[in-house]
Amino acid sequence: MTVALSGEDLGEAIRRAFPSAVDAVAPDAVFVAPQTVRDVCLWLRDEQGFDYLLSVTAVDYLDYFDVVYHLLSLERNQSTIIKTRLQGRTSLRVPSVTPVWKTADFQERETWDLMGIQFEGHPNLKRIMMWEGFPGHPLRKDFLEFDHRTFAMQAGAGQGSQA
Amino acid sequence: MTLTSQPFMVNMGPQHPSTHGVLRLRLVLDGETIVEAEPILGYLHSSKEKLFETHTYLQCVPVTDRMDYLASMTSNLAVSLAIEKLAGIEVPERASYIRVIMSEFQRLASHCFAQGTLINDMGAWHTPLIYFIKEREQILDMFEMVCGARLTYNYIRPGGVSQDLPPEFFGAALRFLEEFPKRLREYRDLLWDNEIIRVRATNVGVLPRELAVSSGVSGPTLRGSGVQWDLRKQDPYCLYERFEFGVPVGERGDVWDRFAVRFQEMWESLRILEQALEGLPAGRWKTDVPIVIRPPGGEVYAQVESPRGMLGFYIVSDGGASPWRMHVRAPSFINLTPLREMLIGHKVADAVVIIGSTDIVMGEVDR
Protein backbone atom coordinates (compact mmCIF):
# COMPACT_ATOMS: atom_id res chain seq x y z
CA MET A 1 0.00 0.00 0.00
CA THR A 2 1.49 3.37 -0.92
CA VAL A 3 1.51 5.44 2.26
CA ALA A 4 1.01 9.17 1.92
CA LEU A 5 3.43 11.29 3.90
CA SER A 6 1.28 13.92 5.55
CA GLY A 7 1.79 17.61 5.03
CA GLU A 8 2.53 18.02 8.72
CA ASP A 9 5.32 15.43 8.82
CA LEU A 10 6.79 16.59 5.55
CA GLY A 11 6.57 20.23 6.62
CA GLU A 12 8.46 19.49 9.81
CA ALA A 13 11.20 17.65 7.94
CA ILE A 14 11.56 20.44 5.38
CA ARG A 15 11.65 23.11 8.09
CA ARG A 16 14.56 21.38 9.77
CA ALA A 17 16.57 21.34 6.57
CA PHE A 18 15.34 24.64 5.09
CA PRO A 19 14.12 26.87 7.93
CA SER A 20 12.56 29.54 5.73
CA ALA A 21 11.27 27.45 2.84
CA VAL A 22 7.88 26.39 4.17
CA ASP A 23 5.11 28.86 3.36
CA ALA A 24 2.17 26.80 4.54
CA VAL A 25 1.18 23.27 5.45
CA ALA A 26 -1.95 21.51 4.22
CA PRO A 27 -3.15 18.07 5.38
CA ASP A 28 -1.68 16.33 2.35
CA ALA A 29 0.83 18.83 0.95
CA VAL A 30 3.45 21.41 1.86
CA PHE A 31 3.63 24.83 0.24
CA VAL A 32 7.21 25.94 -0.25
CA ALA A 33 8.47 29.33 -1.35
CA PRO A 34 8.80 29.38 -5.15
CA GLN A 35 12.51 30.09 -5.29
CA THR A 36 13.29 27.19 -2.94
CA VAL A 37 11.56 24.57 -5.08
CA ARG A 38 14.62 23.12 -6.75
CA ASP A 39 16.70 22.96 -3.56
CA VAL A 40 13.89 21.34 -1.61
CA CYS A 41 13.25 18.83 -4.38
CA LEU A 42 16.93 17.96 -4.65
CA TRP A 43 16.98 17.36 -0.91
CA LEU A 44 13.79 15.29 -1.12
CA ARG A 45 15.33 13.13 -3.81
CA ASP A 46 18.76 12.67 -2.22
CA GLU A 47 18.04 12.75 1.52
CA GLN A 48 14.44 11.59 1.72
CA GLY A 49 14.39 8.97 -1.01
CA PHE A 50 11.77 10.51 -3.28
CA ASP A 51 13.41 9.28 -6.44
CA TYR A 52 10.32 9.40 -8.61
CA LEU A 53 8.37 12.45 -9.73
CA LEU A 54 4.90 11.26 -10.66
CA SER A 55 3.62 14.50 -12.05
CA VAL A 56 4.22 18.23 -12.13
CA THR A 57 1.38 20.44 -13.18
CA ALA A 58 -0.28 23.74 -12.37
CA VAL A 59 -3.74 24.88 -11.32
CA ASP A 60 -5.23 28.28 -12.15
CA TYR A 61 -6.98 29.75 -9.13
CA LEU A 62 -7.68 33.12 -10.77
CA ASP A 63 -5.72 35.27 -8.29
CA TYR A 64 -2.79 32.91 -8.10
CA PHE A 65 -1.42 29.72 -9.62
CA ASP A 66 -0.34 26.63 -7.73
CA VAL A 67 2.39 24.44 -9.15
CA VAL A 68 1.83 20.92 -7.82
CA TYR A 69 4.44 18.17 -7.59
CA HIS A 70 3.33 14.62 -6.84
CA LEU A 71 6.31 12.65 -5.54
CA LEU A 72 6.88 8.96 -4.99
CA SER A 73 9.53 6.94 -3.23
CA LEU A 74 9.79 3.61 -5.00
CA GLU A 75 11.86 2.08 -2.25
CA ARG A 76 9.71 3.12 0.70
CA ASN A 77 6.46 3.00 -1.29
CA GLN A 78 5.57 6.43 0.00
CA SER A 79 4.01 9.38 -1.73
CA THR A 80 3.81 13.06 -0.94
CA ILE A 81 2.89 16.39 -2.48
CA ILE A 82 4.86 19.63 -2.76
CA LYS A 83 3.17 22.79 -3.93
CA THR A 84 4.22 26.33 -4.55
CA ARG A 85 2.00 29.36 -4.94
CA LEU A 86 2.69 32.02 -7.53
CA GLN A 87 0.71 35.21 -6.97
CA GLY A 88 -0.89 37.09 -9.83
CA ARG A 89 -1.13 36.08 -13.44
CA THR A 90 1.94 37.58 -15.05
CA SER A 91 5.65 36.88 -14.73
CA LEU A 92 5.07 33.50 -13.11
CA ARG A 93 8.47 31.96 -12.52
CA VAL A 94 9.63 28.94 -10.63
CA PRO A 95 12.94 27.06 -10.80
CA SER A 96 12.81 24.00 -13.01
CA VAL A 97 13.28 20.60 -11.39
CA THR A 98 14.63 18.96 -14.54
CA PRO A 99 18.08 18.70 -12.88
CA VAL A 100 16.43 16.66 -10.14
CA TRP A 101 14.08 14.42 -12.14
CA LYS A 102 14.35 14.13 -15.90
CA THR A 103 10.64 13.49 -16.16
CA ALA A 104 10.04 17.19 -15.50
CA ASP A 105 11.33 17.91 -19.01
CA PHE A 106 8.13 17.28 -20.94
CA GLN A 107 5.76 17.95 -18.07
CA GLU A 108 7.14 21.42 -17.33
CA ARG A 109 7.04 22.20 -21.04
CA GLU A 110 3.37 21.25 -21.05
CA THR A 111 2.73 23.45 -17.99
CA TRP A 112 4.49 26.36 -19.68
CA ASP A 113 2.59 25.82 -22.90
CA LEU A 114 -0.86 25.48 -21.41
CA MET A 115 -0.59 27.56 -18.22
CA GLY A 116 2.15 30.09 -18.87
CA ILE A 117 4.41 29.24 -15.94
CA GLN A 118 8.06 29.80 -16.73
CA PHE A 119 10.45 27.20 -15.40
CA GLU A 120 13.81 28.86 -14.92
CA GLY A 121 16.72 26.70 -15.92
CA HIS A 122 14.69 24.34 -18.07
CA PRO A 123 16.96 23.18 -20.93
CA ASN A 124 14.32 23.50 -23.63
CA LEU A 125 11.27 25.46 -22.52
CA LYS A 126 9.33 25.37 -25.78
CA ARG A 127 5.69 24.71 -26.40
CA ILE A 128 4.92 21.03 -26.62
CA MET A 129 1.21 20.70 -27.37
CA MET A 130 0.41 23.87 -29.23
CA TRP A 131 2.26 24.97 -32.31
CA GLU A 132 5.05 27.52 -32.11
CA GLY A 133 3.63 31.00 -32.37
CA PHE A 134 0.35 30.09 -30.72
CA PRO A 135 -0.87 33.11 -28.77
CA GLY A 136 -1.68 32.66 -25.13
CA HIS A 137 -1.90 29.79 -22.70
CA PRO A 138 -5.05 27.83 -23.44
CA LEU A 139 -5.65 26.01 -20.16
CA ARG A 140 -5.85 29.27 -18.22
CA LYS A 141 -9.27 30.24 -16.93
CA ASP A 142 -9.28 33.48 -18.90
CA PHE A 143 -8.54 31.75 -22.20
CA LEU A 144 -12.14 31.52 -23.27
CA GLU A 145 -12.51 33.41 -26.48
CA PHE A 146 -10.48 31.84 -29.20
CA ASP A 147 -10.67 33.32 -32.65
CA HIS A 148 -11.90 30.32 -34.62
CA ARG A 149 -11.51 31.92 -37.99
CA THR A 150 -8.77 30.61 -40.20
CA PHE A 151 -5.46 32.40 -39.96
CA ALA A 152 -5.89 33.83 -43.41
CA MET A 153 -9.13 35.50 -42.45
CA GLN A 154 -7.67 36.75 -39.19
CA ALA A 155 -4.66 38.27 -40.89
CA GLY A 156 -6.55 39.86 -43.72
CA ALA A 157 -9.40 41.19 -41.64
CA GLY A 158 -11.38 43.67 -43.64
CA GLN A 159 -10.07 42.41 -46.95
CA GLY A 160 -12.40 39.44 -47.27
CA SER A 161 -14.53 39.04 -50.35
CA GLN A 162 -17.67 38.76 -48.29
CA ALA A 163 -18.89 40.01 -44.96
CA MET B 1 39.39 8.70 -52.42
CA THR B 2 37.60 9.53 -49.21
CA LEU B 3 33.87 9.96 -49.24
CA THR B 4 32.68 12.98 -47.37
CA SER B 5 29.23 13.09 -45.97
CA GLN B 6 27.34 15.35 -43.68
CA PRO B 7 24.49 14.79 -41.29
CA PHE B 8 21.07 15.63 -42.59
CA MET B 9 17.73 16.19 -40.96
CA VAL B 10 14.83 13.91 -41.70
CA ASN B 11 11.29 14.14 -40.45
CA MET B 12 9.78 10.89 -39.33
CA GLY B 13 6.08 11.48 -39.03
CA PRO B 14 3.63 12.81 -38.14
CA GLN B 15 2.17 10.73 -40.93
CA HIS B 16 4.09 7.51 -40.92
CA PRO B 17 2.88 3.93 -40.79
CA SER B 18 5.13 3.02 -37.90
CA THR B 19 5.02 5.89 -35.51
CA HIS B 20 1.96 4.49 -33.78
CA GLY B 21 -0.10 7.54 -34.37
CA VAL B 22 0.80 11.11 -35.12
CA LEU B 23 4.21 11.20 -33.51
CA ARG B 24 6.75 13.38 -35.21
CA LEU B 25 10.43 12.76 -34.78
CA ARG B 26 12.94 15.20 -36.09
CA LEU B 27 15.94 12.98 -36.69
CA VAL B 28 19.42 14.07 -37.61
CA LEU B 29 21.07 11.23 -39.45
CA ASP B 30 24.67 10.51 -40.25
CA GLY B 31 24.08 8.00 -42.97
CA GLU B 32 21.65 5.64 -41.32
CA THR B 33 22.76 6.33 -37.77
CA ILE B 34 20.69 8.62 -35.62
CA VAL B 35 22.81 11.33 -34.05
CA GLU B 36 20.01 13.50 -32.76
CA ALA B 37 16.32 12.89 -32.21
CA GLU B 38 13.65 15.30 -31.10
CA PRO B 39 10.09 14.16 -30.54
CA ILE B 40 7.57 16.80 -31.54
CA LEU B 41 4.15 16.29 -30.09
CA GLY B 42 0.77 17.91 -30.12
CA TYR B 43 -0.65 16.68 -33.41
CA LEU B 44 -3.48 14.95 -31.62
CA HIS B 45 -3.96 17.56 -28.91
CA SER B 46 -7.65 18.13 -28.45
CA SER B 47 -7.70 20.09 -25.20
CA LYS B 48 -9.32 17.32 -23.20
CA GLU B 49 -8.14 18.84 -19.93
CA LYS B 50 -9.98 22.02 -20.89
CA LEU B 51 -13.03 20.00 -21.87
CA PHE B 52 -13.09 18.41 -18.42
CA GLU B 53 -13.64 21.86 -16.91
CA THR B 54 -16.89 22.38 -18.77
CA HIS B 55 -18.27 18.86 -18.43
CA THR B 56 -20.02 17.24 -15.51
CA TYR B 57 -18.06 14.50 -13.78
CA LEU B 58 -20.05 11.75 -15.50
CA GLN B 59 -19.52 13.45 -18.84
CA CYS B 60 -15.77 13.40 -18.23
CA VAL B 61 -15.72 9.60 -18.32
CA PRO B 62 -16.35 9.14 -22.08
CA VAL B 63 -13.74 11.83 -22.76
CA THR B 64 -11.20 9.56 -21.11
CA ASP B 65 -12.18 6.77 -23.54
CA ARG B 66 -10.55 8.75 -26.25
CA MET B 67 -7.25 9.41 -24.58
CA ASP B 68 -5.75 5.94 -24.42
CA TYR B 69 -8.08 4.53 -27.01
CA LEU B 70 -6.49 1.10 -26.87
CA ALA B 71 -7.15 0.77 -23.15
CA SER B 72 -10.36 2.61 -22.63
CA MET B 73 -11.44 0.42 -19.70
CA THR B 74 -8.46 1.35 -17.57
CA SER B 75 -8.83 5.02 -18.46
CA ASN B 76 -12.45 4.93 -17.34
CA LEU B 77 -11.38 3.07 -14.22
CA ALA B 78 -8.73 5.64 -13.31
CA VAL B 79 -11.07 8.61 -13.59
CA SER B 80 -13.86 6.75 -11.81
CA LEU B 81 -11.59 5.85 -8.90
CA ALA B 82 -10.50 9.48 -8.60
CA ILE B 83 -14.07 10.80 -8.64
CA GLU B 84 -15.15 8.16 -6.13
CA LYS B 85 -12.29 9.06 -3.81
CA LEU B 86 -13.16 12.73 -4.12
CA ALA B 87 -16.88 12.33 -3.60
CA GLY B 88 -16.75 9.49 -1.10
CA ILE B 89 -18.65 7.07 -3.33
CA GLU B 90 -18.48 3.41 -2.35
CA VAL B 91 -18.41 0.69 -4.95
CA PRO B 92 -20.08 -2.71 -4.40
CA GLU B 93 -17.91 -5.80 -4.39
CA ARG B 94 -19.38 -7.23 -7.59
CA ALA B 95 -18.59 -4.00 -9.40
CA SER B 96 -14.96 -4.20 -8.33
CA TYR B 97 -14.65 -7.76 -9.59
CA ILE B 98 -16.24 -6.75 -12.90
CA ARG B 99 -13.80 -3.86 -13.11
CA VAL B 100 -10.87 -6.22 -12.56
CA ILE B 101 -12.20 -8.60 -15.22
CA MET B 102 -12.60 -5.75 -17.70
CA SER B 103 -9.19 -4.28 -16.86
CA GLU B 104 -7.42 -7.57 -17.38
CA PHE B 105 -9.25 -8.33 -20.63
CA GLN B 106 -8.27 -4.82 -21.65
CA ARG B 107 -4.66 -5.52 -20.76
CA LEU B 108 -4.76 -8.64 -22.92
CA ALA B 109 -6.32 -6.80 -25.85
CA SER B 110 -3.90 -3.91 -25.57
CA HIS B 111 -0.84 -6.14 -25.28
CA CYS B 112 -2.03 -8.24 -28.22
CA PHE B 113 -2.13 -5.09 -30.29
CA ALA B 114 1.18 -3.80 -28.96
CA GLN B 115 3.01 -7.07 -29.54
CA GLY B 116 1.45 -7.56 -32.94
CA THR B 117 2.39 -4.11 -34.19
CA LEU B 118 5.86 -4.36 -32.68
CA ILE B 119 6.56 -7.58 -34.53
CA ASN B 120 5.03 -6.07 -37.62
CA ASP B 121 7.46 -3.18 -37.23
CA MET B 122 10.28 -5.69 -37.08
CA GLY B 123 9.33 -6.90 -40.51
CA ALA B 124 7.23 -9.99 -39.84
CA TRP B 125 4.80 -8.82 -42.41
CA HIS B 126 1.41 -8.93 -40.78
CA THR B 127 1.13 -12.63 -39.98
CA PRO B 128 1.74 -12.36 -36.23
CA LEU B 129 -0.13 -9.07 -36.23
CA ILE B 130 -3.21 -10.70 -37.70
CA TYR B 131 -2.92 -13.60 -35.28
CA PHE B 132 -2.86 -11.20 -32.32
CA ILE B 133 -5.62 -9.07 -33.76
CA LYS B 134 -7.72 -12.18 -34.20
CA GLU B 135 -7.42 -12.85 -30.47
CA ARG B 136 -8.11 -9.24 -29.68
CA GLU B 137 -11.27 -9.39 -31.78
CA GLN B 138 -12.69 -11.98 -29.43
CA ILE B 139 -12.06 -9.69 -26.50
CA LEU B 140 -13.65 -6.79 -28.35
CA ASP B 141 -16.68 -9.00 -29.05
CA MET B 142 -16.99 -9.60 -25.32
CA PHE B 143 -16.73 -5.90 -24.64
CA GLU B 144 -19.45 -5.31 -27.18
CA MET B 145 -21.64 -7.83 -25.38
CA VAL B 146 -21.08 -6.01 -22.14
CA CYS B 147 -21.43 -2.37 -23.09
CA GLY B 148 -22.19 -2.16 -26.78
CA ALA B 149 -18.93 -0.67 -27.91
CA ARG B 150 -15.72 -2.14 -29.33
CA LEU B 151 -13.27 0.61 -28.55
CA THR B 152 -14.63 3.45 -26.48
CA TYR B 153 -16.61 1.81 -23.73
CA ASN B 154 -17.72 4.34 -21.11
CA TYR B 155 -18.51 1.23 -19.10
CA ILE B 156 -16.64 1.77 -15.85
CA ARG B 157 -18.21 4.83 -14.27
CA PRO B 158 -18.16 6.44 -10.83
CA GLY B 159 -20.13 4.11 -8.58
CA GLY B 160 -19.46 0.89 -10.43
CA VAL B 161 -20.16 -0.18 -13.96
CA SER B 162 -22.96 0.99 -16.21
CA GLN B 163 -24.73 -2.36 -16.46
CA ASP B 164 -24.39 -5.91 -15.23
CA LEU B 165 -22.64 -8.62 -17.22
CA PRO B 166 -25.09 -10.22 -19.63
CA PRO B 167 -25.50 -14.04 -19.42
CA GLU B 168 -23.86 -14.64 -22.81
CA PHE B 169 -20.68 -12.99 -21.52
CA PHE B 170 -19.77 -15.86 -19.22
CA GLY B 171 -19.89 -18.50 -21.94
CA ALA B 172 -17.74 -16.37 -24.19
CA ALA B 173 -15.27 -15.55 -21.42
CA LEU B 174 -14.83 -19.15 -20.33
CA ARG B 175 -14.41 -20.27 -23.95
CA PHE B 176 -11.80 -17.57 -24.40
CA LEU B 177 -9.92 -18.64 -21.29
CA GLU B 178 -9.93 -22.22 -22.67
CA GLU B 179 -8.68 -21.36 -26.13
CA PHE B 180 -6.45 -18.33 -25.72
CA PRO B 181 -3.70 -19.96 -23.62
CA LYS B 182 -3.26 -22.66 -26.26
CA ARG B 183 -2.85 -20.09 -28.99
CA LEU B 184 -0.65 -17.87 -26.86
CA ARG B 185 1.60 -20.87 -26.42
CA GLU B 186 1.60 -21.33 -30.19
CA TYR B 187 2.60 -17.71 -30.72
CA ARG B 188 5.26 -18.04 -28.10
CA ASP B 189 6.71 -21.05 -29.89
CA LEU B 190 6.55 -19.13 -33.13
CA LEU B 191 8.13 -15.92 -31.89
CA TRP B 192 10.18 -16.48 -28.76
CA ASP B 193 13.28 -18.00 -30.33
CA ASN B 194 12.91 -16.38 -33.70
CA GLU B 195 16.37 -15.25 -34.69
CA ILE B 196 15.25 -12.09 -36.44
CA ILE B 197 13.23 -10.88 -33.49
CA ARG B 198 16.06 -11.68 -31.11
CA VAL B 199 18.64 -9.85 -33.20
CA ARG B 200 16.40 -6.85 -33.81
CA ALA B 201 15.38 -6.58 -30.20
CA THR B 202 18.34 -7.55 -28.02
CA ASN B 203 20.42 -4.61 -26.86
CA VAL B 204 18.35 -2.26 -28.99
CA GLY B 205 16.84 0.81 -27.38
CA VAL B 206 18.35 0.15 -23.99
CA LEU B 207 16.76 2.19 -21.22
CA PRO B 208 19.03 2.01 -18.17
CA ARG B 209 17.34 1.71 -14.83
CA GLU B 210 18.43 5.06 -13.40
CA LEU B 211 17.31 6.90 -16.51
CA ALA B 212 14.00 5.06 -16.42
CA VAL B 213 13.31 6.05 -12.82
CA SER B 214 14.45 9.64 -13.31
CA SER B 215 12.34 9.93 -16.45
CA GLY B 216 9.21 8.85 -14.63
CA VAL B 217 8.73 5.91 -16.94
CA SER B 218 6.16 3.33 -15.86
CA GLY B 219 4.50 0.12 -16.93
CA PRO B 220 6.23 -2.57 -19.00
CA THR B 221 8.76 0.04 -20.11
CA LEU B 222 9.86 0.53 -16.49
CA ARG B 223 9.66 -3.14 -15.61
CA GLY B 224 11.69 -4.01 -18.68
CA SER B 225 14.48 -1.95 -17.15
CA GLY B 226 14.49 -4.07 -14.04
CA VAL B 227 12.31 -2.07 -11.66
CA GLN B 228 9.76 -4.22 -9.90
CA TRP B 229 6.93 -1.71 -9.73
CA ASP B 230 3.32 -2.51 -10.56
CA LEU B 231 0.54 -0.50 -8.95
CA ARG B 232 -1.63 -3.60 -8.73
CA LYS B 233 0.89 -4.91 -6.22
CA GLN B 234 2.43 -1.79 -4.71
CA ASP B 235 -0.79 0.17 -4.21
CA PRO B 236 -3.66 -2.20 -4.93
CA TYR B 237 -6.96 -0.71 -5.99
CA CYS B 238 -10.21 -2.35 -6.88
CA LEU B 239 -9.61 -5.48 -4.75
CA TYR B 240 -6.48 -6.51 -6.69
CA GLU B 241 -4.95 -7.62 -3.40
CA ARG B 242 -7.27 -10.62 -3.48
CA PHE B 243 -5.73 -12.09 -6.61
CA GLU B 244 -2.54 -14.05 -7.02
CA PHE B 245 -0.39 -13.04 -9.91
CA GLY B 246 3.22 -12.31 -10.71
CA VAL B 247 4.92 -9.20 -12.03
CA PRO B 248 7.50 -9.99 -14.71
CA VAL B 249 10.61 -7.86 -14.78
CA GLY B 250 13.36 -7.54 -17.37
CA GLU B 251 17.08 -7.06 -16.99
CA ARG B 252 18.66 -4.95 -19.67
CA GLY B 253 15.84 -2.59 -20.54
CA ASP B 254 16.07 -3.30 -24.24
CA VAL B 255 13.29 -3.91 -26.73
CA TRP B 256 13.43 -7.63 -26.05
CA ASP B 257 12.87 -7.15 -22.33
CA ARG B 258 9.84 -4.95 -22.90
CA PHE B 259 8.48 -7.46 -25.41
CA ALA B 260 9.06 -10.33 -23.01
CA VAL B 261 7.54 -8.46 -20.06
CA ARG B 262 4.36 -7.78 -22.01
CA PHE B 263 4.20 -11.39 -23.12
CA GLN B 264 4.57 -12.62 -19.56
CA GLU B 265 2.01 -10.11 -18.36
CA MET B 266 -0.53 -11.69 -20.66
CA TRP B 267 -0.06 -15.00 -18.83
CA GLU B 268 -0.46 -13.24 -15.49
CA SER B 269 -3.61 -11.51 -16.69
CA LEU B 270 -5.08 -14.88 -17.57
CA ARG B 271 -4.43 -16.02 -14.01
CA ILE B 272 -6.21 -13.00 -12.61
CA LEU B 273 -9.14 -13.48 -14.98
CA GLU B 274 -9.66 -17.08 -13.92
CA GLN B 275 -9.67 -16.11 -10.27
CA ALA B 276 -11.93 -13.11 -10.79
CA LEU B 277 -14.49 -14.98 -12.87
CA GLU B 278 -14.55 -17.80 -10.40
CA GLY B 279 -14.91 -15.59 -7.37
CA LEU B 280 -17.37 -13.12 -8.87
CA PRO B 281 -19.82 -12.32 -6.07
CA ALA B 282 -23.50 -11.68 -6.50
CA GLY B 283 -24.88 -8.28 -5.77
CA ARG B 284 -25.29 -4.88 -7.29
CA TRP B 285 -23.03 -3.76 -10.09
CA LYS B 286 -23.13 -0.10 -9.13
CA THR B 287 -24.01 2.39 -6.46
CA ASP B 288 -26.59 4.92 -7.49
CA VAL B 289 -24.95 8.25 -8.08
CA PRO B 290 -26.67 11.44 -9.16
CA ILE B 291 -26.36 12.39 -12.80
CA VAL B 292 -24.66 15.59 -11.70
CA ILE B 293 -22.16 14.68 -9.02
CA ARG B 294 -21.06 17.61 -6.88
CA PRO B 295 -18.12 16.43 -4.82
CA PRO B 296 -17.09 18.55 -1.86
CA GLY B 297 -14.30 21.05 -2.44
CA GLY B 298 -10.84 19.53 -2.29
CA GLU B 299 -8.49 17.56 -4.42
CA VAL B 300 -7.49 14.01 -5.10
CA TYR B 301 -4.93 12.02 -7.03
CA ALA B 302 -5.71 8.44 -8.00
CA GLN B 303 -3.90 6.14 -10.37
CA VAL B 304 -4.19 2.71 -11.94
CA GLU B 305 -1.82 0.36 -13.72
CA SER B 306 -2.93 0.70 -17.31
CA PRO B 307 -1.33 -1.51 -19.98
CA ARG B 308 1.02 1.41 -20.65
CA GLY B 309 1.94 2.40 -17.14
CA MET B 310 0.71 4.47 -14.24
CA LEU B 311 -2.30 6.42 -15.40
CA GLY B 312 -3.29 9.00 -12.84
CA PHE B 313 -5.94 11.67 -12.47
CA TYR B 314 -5.43 14.78 -10.37
CA ILE B 315 -8.78 16.43 -9.75
CA VAL B 316 -9.36 19.74 -8.02
CA SER B 317 -12.96 20.35 -7.05
CA ASP B 318 -14.58 23.62 -6.07
CA GLY B 319 -17.78 21.91 -5.04
CA GLY B 320 -19.40 22.52 -8.41
CA ALA B 321 -20.76 20.25 -11.09
CA SER B 322 -17.58 20.36 -13.18
CA PRO B 323 -14.02 19.82 -11.99
CA TRP B 324 -12.09 23.05 -11.45
CA ARG B 325 -9.05 21.26 -12.83
CA MET B 326 -8.56 17.70 -14.01
CA HIS B 327 -5.02 16.82 -14.96
CA VAL B 328 -4.10 13.49 -16.50
CA ARG B 329 -0.82 11.89 -15.59
CA ALA B 330 -0.47 10.17 -18.95
CA PRO B 331 2.01 7.29 -19.03
CA SER B 332 2.49 7.37 -22.79
CA PHE B 333 3.43 11.06 -22.65
CA ILE B 334 5.89 10.59 -19.83
CA ASN B 335 7.32 7.36 -21.28
CA LEU B 336 8.45 9.42 -24.26
CA THR B 337 10.78 11.47 -22.06
CA PRO B 338 13.85 9.23 -22.53
CA LEU B 339 13.09 8.46 -26.17
CA ARG B 340 15.94 10.60 -27.43
CA GLU B 341 18.47 8.72 -25.30
CA MET B 342 17.02 5.42 -26.41
CA LEU B 343 17.32 6.32 -30.08
CA ILE B 344 20.71 7.95 -30.41
CA GLY B 345 23.34 5.67 -31.86
CA HIS B 346 20.86 3.34 -33.49
CA LYS B 347 19.83 3.04 -37.09
CA VAL B 348 16.64 4.48 -38.49
CA ALA B 349 15.18 1.00 -38.76
CA ASP B 350 15.76 0.56 -35.04
CA ALA B 351 13.89 3.78 -34.35
CA VAL B 352 10.72 2.15 -35.60
CA VAL B 353 11.23 -0.85 -33.35
CA ILE B 354 12.15 1.24 -30.30
CA ILE B 355 9.08 3.44 -30.60
CA GLY B 356 6.96 0.33 -30.99
CA SER B 357 8.44 -1.17 -27.87
CA THR B 358 7.44 1.83 -25.76
CA ASP B 359 3.83 1.12 -26.70
CA ILE B 360 2.56 4.68 -26.80
CA VAL B 361 -0.87 5.82 -27.78
CA MET B 362 -0.91 9.35 -29.14
CA GLY B 363 -4.34 10.13 -27.78
CA GLU B 364 -2.87 9.84 -24.33
CA VAL B 365 0.38 11.57 -25.23
CA ASP B 366 -1.32 14.66 -26.58
CA ARG B 367 -4.70 14.63 -24.85
pLDDT at A163: 41
- Please tell me the total count of domains within chain A: 1
* Mean pLDDT, rounded, of chain B: 93
Q: Is the predicted pLDDT of residue A152 greater than 80, yes or no?
A: no
Contacts of B235 in chain A (CB under 8 A): 1-2, 77
Residue among B290, B174, B300, B180 at smallest CA distance from B237: B300
A53: in domain: yes
Query: pLDDT tens across A64-82, in order?
Result: 999 999 999 999 999 999 9
Model confidence band, residue A142 (pLDDT cutoffs 50, 70, 90): confident
Q: Are strands B325-329 and A22-25 parallel, antiparallel or unpaired?
A: unpaired
Residue A153 lies in a domain: no
Q: How far, in Å, CA of A143 to CA of B351, rounded? A: 38
pLDDT at A162: 45
The pLDDT, as a whole number, for residue B123 is 86
Lowest mean pLDDT of A45-49, B121-125, B350-354, name the range. Answer: B121-125
- Judged by a CB distance cut-off of 8 A, whether residue B364 touches chain A is no
| pLDDT value of residue A135 | 87
Contacts of residue B312 in chain A, CB cutoff 8 Å?
Answer: 54-55, 70
pLDDT at A133 over 90: no
* Domain-located, residue A151: no
B46 touching A (Cβ < 8 Å): no
Contacts of B227 in chain A (CB under 8 A): 74
Is A160 within a domain? no
- Whether B234 sits inside 8 A of A2 (CB atoms) is yes
Is the pLDDT score of A120 beyond 50?
yes
Structural domain harbouring A100: 3-144
Is residue A161 included in any domain, yes or no? no
pLDDT for A101: 95
pLDDT tens for each residue of B5-33: 899 999 998 888 877 889 999 999 998 99
Average pLDDT, chain A: 88
Give a yes or no: residue A157 inside a domain.
no
pLDDT digit string, tens, across residues B78-94: 999 999 999 999 999 99
Whether residues A52 and B336 touch (CB distance < 8 A) is answered with no
Q: Running DSSP on this structure, what letter comes out for residue B4? A: P
Among B163, B157, B169, which Cα is nearest to B75's?
Answer: B157
Position B345 scores a pLDDT of 93
Q: In what order do the strands lie in the sheet with B309-317?
A: B298-306, B309-317, B325-329
CA distance B96 to chain A (A): 18
pTM: predicted TM-score of the whole model, two decimal places = 0.92
- Nearest CB among B214, B316, B329 relative to A55 is that of B329
Q: What is the pLDDT of residue B336?
A: 95
What residues form DSSP beta bridges with B8?
A: B29
pLDDT for B261-306, tens place per residue?
999 999 999 999 999 999 999 999 999 999 999 999 999 999 999 9
Q: What is the pLDDT of residues B149-197, one digit of tens each?
A: 999 999 999 999 999 999 999 999 999 999 999 999 999 999 998 999 9
Q: What domains appear along chain B, each with residue ranges and CATH number?
A: 8-366 (1.10.645.10)
Beta bridge partners of B316: B299, B325
pLDDT at A146 over 70: no
Q: Is residue A47 part of a domain?
A: yes
Phi, psi (deg, nearest 5) at residue B159: 110, -20
For the domain that residue A35 is a member of, what is the CATH number?
3.30.460.80
**For residue A125, is it within any domain?**
yes
Q: What are phi and psi of B9, to 5 degrees?
A: -100, 135
pLDDT in tens, B188-219: 999 998 999 999 999 999 999 999 999 999 99
In angstroms, the Cα distances linking B72 to B94, B215, B236, B281 are 20, 25, 20, 24
Distance CA B139, CA B145 (A): 10
When pLDDT is averaged across residues B307-321 and rounded to a whole number, the result is 94
Neighbours of B52 (CB within 10 A): 25
Q: In the predicted model, is pLDDT for residue B260 greater than 90?
A: yes
